[in-house]
Amino acid sequence: MKVRMLQTMKGSPDGIQVEEYRVGEVYDLPPSLASVFLREKWAKQDKSLKGPSKTKEVKGEAKAKNTTSRRTGRS
pLDDT value of position 47 = 86
> Rounded to whole angstroms, what are the CA distances from 64 to 16, 24, 61, 67, 73?
8, 27, 5, 5, 18
- Taking alpha carbons only, the member of 17, 63, 9 closest to residue 27 is 9
Dihedral, CA atoms, 13, 6, 53, 59, nearest 10 degrees?
0
Amino acid at 6: L
pLDDT of res. 23: 97
pTM exceeding the 0.75 threshold for the entire prediction = no
* Calpha distance 58→34 (Å, rounded): 11
Task: Name the pLDDT band for 7 (thresholds 50, 70, 90).
Answer: very high
pLDDT at residue number 60? 55
For residue 69, pLDDT beyond 50: no
User: pLDDT (tens digit, 9 = 90+) per residue, 31-68?
Assistant: 999 999 999 999 999 987 655 545 566 655 444 333 44
Bridging pattern class, strands 2-5 and 26-28: antiparallel
